[in-house]
Amino acid sequence: MTTQTNPQARGSSFWQSNFVYSFRKSPIAIISMIVFLLIALSAFFAPLLAPVDPYNQALFDIMDSELPPVWETYGDPRFIFGTDPQGRDMLSAILYGTRLSLLIGICAVAVQAFLGISIGLIAGYVGGRLDSLLMRMADIQLSFSTLMVAIIFLAVSQAIFGSDTFNKYAIVMLIVVIGVAEWPQYARTVRACVLAEKKKEYVDSARVLGFGPLRIMVRHILPNALSPIFVISTVQVANAIISEASLSFLGLGMPPSQPSLGLLISSGFDYIFSGSWWITTIPGIVLVVLVLVINLLGDWMRDVLNPRLYKGDK
């Protein structure tokens, strides 16, 4: 995607400076950013930071199973956050799990954005029957919740392909299904932007100058839609991470050999009644903090950029 600024994107440098100014003025935004970067970086460098490889079952020792975190009475200094029933180091599992959750969340949103922006641009620019057809589809798609569509799609593909094949392609499936199900969010907003911008003179002049529709859309209209796209993307990453966690929790996402945060929480749930709270609680806290800081950043961004987002009104 082009991020270079366009002379037509009015006041782009202005919003950037205002953006930075209000960022420095907002302690919540700063703290959220720091926490997010900490989580993101430790997830990115998980292979370097993790004490063991949580995917290599040969490294687990059943003797180490269900050890509590170090600060508890029977804690073991080798396992800071304790171990799961298989004797897997929770810290390593959480680092790798966060990595997976972030990866799936961001890639799924990239898919959403690509589909939604393309469809929104086309619908808004072409207009007419194609527009109303696409928007009708968007309405219908939205009326079926993402999670519902994802659950059904994944459940059925798991049943059809068998869990071995399914587990192999779980990441791709999660990205695709979360990505495809949420395109209308982008499409509606981008379409609204296109409709608003299309009326303005510079689009006419670009057309008179003989620029093709693709160039007009990408170079002239899209930059004006960037701030709502930005705000939506933040919220969508948070939602995608929650969706992935929910699907994995149901056993419809990542396989047990490669647990994401949702699956870690799920595997710990069975042990919550026996008092092994940490298997569920610690990945749960990480998940909530990660989603929370992304949401806080999104909220702050919405306040600063104040874009006109698409609303349900007709």
Partner 1 sequence: MFAYLVKRAFQAIAVMFVISVVSFAIQDNLGDPLRELVGQSVSEEVREQLREELGLNDSFITQYLRFAWKALHGDLGTSYFFKEPALTVIFKKLPATLELVFGATVIIIGLSVPLGVYTAIKPNGLFSRIVMGLSIVGISVPVFLTAIAMIYLFSVELQWLPSFGRGDVVPIFGHWDTNFLTVDGWQHILLPSIALASIMLPLFVRLIRAEMMETLQSEYVKYATAKGVRPMRIYFVHALKNTLLPVITVGGVQIGTMVAYTILTETVFQWPGMGFMFLEAVNRVDTPLIVAYLIVVGFIFVVTNTIVDLIYGLVNPTINIARMGA
Residue from 20, 159, 172, 214 that binds partner 1 (CB under 8 A)? 159
Nearest approach in angstroms of CB 266 to partner 1 is 8
Q: How far is the CB of 63 from partner 1 (least distance, A)?
A: 27
In the shown chain, the binding pattern of residues 62 to 101 toward partner 1, with x for contact by CB under 8 A and - for none, equals ----------------------------------------
**Residue 155 touches partner 1, criterion: CB under 8 A:** yes
Cα separation, 155 vs 102, whole angstroms: 22
Q: Among 33, 151, 176, 180, which residue interacts with partner 1 (rule: CB under 8 A)?
A: 151
Answer yes or no: are the C-beta atoms of 142 and 184 closer than 8 Å. Answer: yes
Instruction: Using DSSP, state whether 37 is helix, strand or coil.
Output: helix
Interface with partner 1, residue 314, by CB under 8 A: yes
The residues in 265-294 that bind partner 1, with binding defined as CB under 8 A, are: 265-266, 269, 272-273, 277, 280, 284, 287-288, 291-292
Identify which of 87, 79, 82 has the alpha carbon closest to the alpha carbon of residue 63.
87
Number of residues that bind partner 1 (CB under 8 A): 43
Contacts of 154 (CB under 8 A, 6+ apart): 173, 174, 177, 247, 252, 253
Indicate if the alpha-carbon torsion angle 65, 68, 69, 75 is positive or negative: negative
Q: Select the span of 63-71, 88-96, 138-146, 218-226 touching partner 1 (CB under 8 A).
A: 138-146
Letter string b/e over residues 211-227, b meaning 16 or more CB atoms within 10 A of that residue's CB = eeeeebbbbbbbbbbbb
Q: Which residue has the tokens 């939506």?
A: 232
CB nearer to partner 1: pick between 34 and 152: 152
Per-residue x/- track, 188-227, partner 1 (CB under 8 A): ----------------------------------------
Range 291-295, long-range pairs (CB < 8 A, 24+ positions): 291/238, 291/241, 291/242, 292/32, 293/31, 293/32, 293/33, 293/35, 293/36, 293/39, 294/32, 294/36, 294/234, 294/235, 294/237, 294/238, 294/241, 295/234, 295/235, 295/238
Closest CA to 246 of 260, 236, 234: 260
Binding track, positions 229-248, relative to partner 1; x by CB under 8 A: ---------x---x--xx--
Whichever of 20 and 285 has its CB closer to partner 1, that residue is 285
Q: How far apart are CB 270 and partner 1 at their closest, in Å? A: 11
Among 95, 175, 286, 296, contact with partner 1 (rule: CB under 8 A): 296
Q: Could you tell me the smallest distance in angstroms from the CB atom of residue 192 to partner 1?
A: 15
Token pair for residue 94? Answer: 């959480």
Q: Establish if 172 lies at the interface with partner 1 (CB under 8 A).
A: no
Give the number of other Cβ atoms within 10 Å of residue 49's Cβ: 14
Q: Is 306 among the residues that bind partner 1 (CB under 8 A)?
A: no
Q: Which residues of this chain interact with partner 1, rule CB under 8 A?
A: 136, 140, 142-148, 151-152, 155-156, 158-160, 238, 242, 245-246, 249-251, 262, 265-266, 269, 272-273, 277, 280, 284, 287-288, 291-292, 295-296, 299, 311-314
